[in-house]
Amino acid sequence: MRLTEKTLQKSSVTCRSSSTGHDQRGMALLVTIMTLSLLTAITIQYHKVSWHNFVVSDNYKRGVQLKSISESGVNIALAALIDDLAENEADSFSDSWALLEQENFDLLFPSGELLLKINDLSGRLQTNMLVEEKNAETSAELRDILQNLLVSGIFPIEDETEALEIVDAIVDWIDEDDLESDHGAENSYYQSLDQPYSARNGPLTSIEELLLIRGITPEIFFGSDENKGLKDFLTVYGEDGKININTAETELIKSMNPLITDELAEQFDEFRKDEDNKDSFNDPSWYTAIGWPGDIELNDKIITTTSQYFQISATGKFDTLSWTMVADAGRAEDGTINLLRKKVE
């Protein structure tokens, strides 16, 4: 069979037409795939943004709830401190305010959890009383107690000289003059630092201010997993120099008299935590009933069994989220409560 020129031209046109059709369909498929890919990417990004906005919104909502729970916790604690005055005269670990840590508040806060604790700041050494011209005897006694505490072994302090340097530096920070104590530090030292600042030359206004004083490192101030920090033994509140022995840390009790051994301090702590002894805690001399050796005494001029200053820690929790509010409160003899300081941690 012979192919004519006309037949060959027709066949060529048909092939070109078929090839063009395949190219167009391939291009259309490619455009469709690219469009779907773009839409898929846009959809995924949209869901990411939407989920992020949802999480942020939910966290904000939870944050507001947790803040409300913690603020409610502070008010519950303040009410407990007011009610406590009607229960008894003394303040001890047996009081209702001291037992709030064991309470369950689930019925009050079904959408979260409240953790509530009150620490007795009157069971700590009054730092600003380390310098007091009107009561020099008490100030000297408190300085000795602080010196004993610093060398007790619970702080990373090498020797008595280092401890004395810290005590004198605190005194120089608080006193009004620029005269250095034997082992202290005044403005000449602080002004020589890379980032200079001045000594307050006045009473401490917050316990964290101790971190500005020469020799007090974060390790000494905050403590560690094994040991308490200096912040757990000192307070900026109080003007009589007295320490509530019903609630003071045992290390501080031991520092009041070097003759108090670990064993005697443990007896002391067990006695004051025994509910059967709570009626004894009004009298500051109750510790004499423990059976200590007769030559071991605590200076009655610096001990008490009542408290005026407390620190409230209220934490609202939900899942992994939390909000903690810390409030310092002062309680007057007439039962009124004043918030002295409040912060979020």
The DSSP result for 217-264, as a single string, is -HHHHH--SSS--GGGTEES--SS--EETTTS-HHHHHHH-TT--HHH
Identify each DSSP E strand in the chain by its residue range.
Answer: 113-120, 125-126, 234-235, 243-244, 303-304, 309-318, 321-331, 337-344
DSSP state of 329: E
pLDDT reported for residue 291:
86
pLDDT band for 2, please (50, 70, 90 cuts): low
If you average pLDDT over residues 234-247, what whole number do you get? 97
Tens of pLDDT, residue by residue over 139-151, are: 999 999 999 999 9
Cβ neighbours of residue 270 under 8 Å, at least 6 residues apart? none
Residue 323 lies in a domain: yes
Q: What CA–CA distance (Å, rounded) separates 126 from 203? A: 11
Residue 30 lies in a domain: no
CATH number at residue 175: 1.10.40.60
Residue 27 lies in a domain: no
Residue 46 lies in a domain: no
Buried b (16+ CB within 10 A) or exposed e, 63-73: eebbeebbbbb
pTM summary value: 0.81
Q: What CA–CA distance (Å, rounded) separates 200 from 177? A: 10
Residue 29 lies in a domain: no
**Choice among 35-49, 195-209, 224-238 with the minimum mean pLDDT:** 35-49
SS3 content of the chain, % helix, strand, coil (to 5): 50, 15, 35
Residue 221 lies in a domain: yes
For 247, the domain range is 67-344
pLDDT reported for residue 141:
96
Residue 78 lies in a domain: yes
Residue predicted with more confidence, 12 or 169 = 169
Average pLDDT score, the chain: 88
pLDDT band for 218, please (50, 70, 90 cuts): very high
Q: What CA–CA distance (Å, rounded) separates 27 from 35? A: 12
pLDDT reported for residue 294:
81
Position 39 pLDDT exceeds 90: no
Taking Cα atoms as reference points, which of 270, 298, 296 lies closest to residue 284?
298
Residue predicted with more confidence, 175 or 31 = 175
pLDDT reported for residue 8:
44
pLDDT band for 25, please (50, 70, 90 cuts): low
If you average pLDDT over residues 182-202, what whole number do you get? 93
Cα dihedral 166, 167, 172, 174 sign = positive
Tens of pLDDT, residue by residue over 106-136, are: 889 888 899 999 999 999 999 999 998 778 9
Tens of pLDDT, residue by residue over 271-296, are: 999 999 999 999 999 999 998 888 89
Q: Is 321 helix (H, G, I), strand (E, B) or coil?
A: strand
Q: What CA–CA distance (Å, rounded) separates 237 from 323? A: 26
Q: Is 73 helix (H, G, I), strand (E, B) or coil?
A: helix
Q: What CA–CA distance (Å, rounded) separates 139 from 161? A: 20
Position 250 pLDDT exceeds 50: yes
pLDDT band for 50, please (50, 70, 90 cuts): low
For residue 290, what are its two tokens? 């423990």
Residue 116 lies in a domain: yes
pLDDT band for 31, please (50, 70, 90 cuts): low
CB 130 within 8 A of CB 142: yes
Report residue 339: phi and psi, to 5°. Answer: -80, 120
Q: Which amino acid is at 293?
A: P
Position 52 pLDDT exceeds 80: no
pLDDT reported for residue 54:
44
If you average pLDDT over residues 181-193, what whole number do you get? 92
pLDDT band for 24, please (50, 70, 90 cuts): low
Number of H helices, E strands in the chain: 7, 8
Report residue 60: phi and psi, to 5°. Answer: -65, -45
Number of domains into which the chain is organized:
1
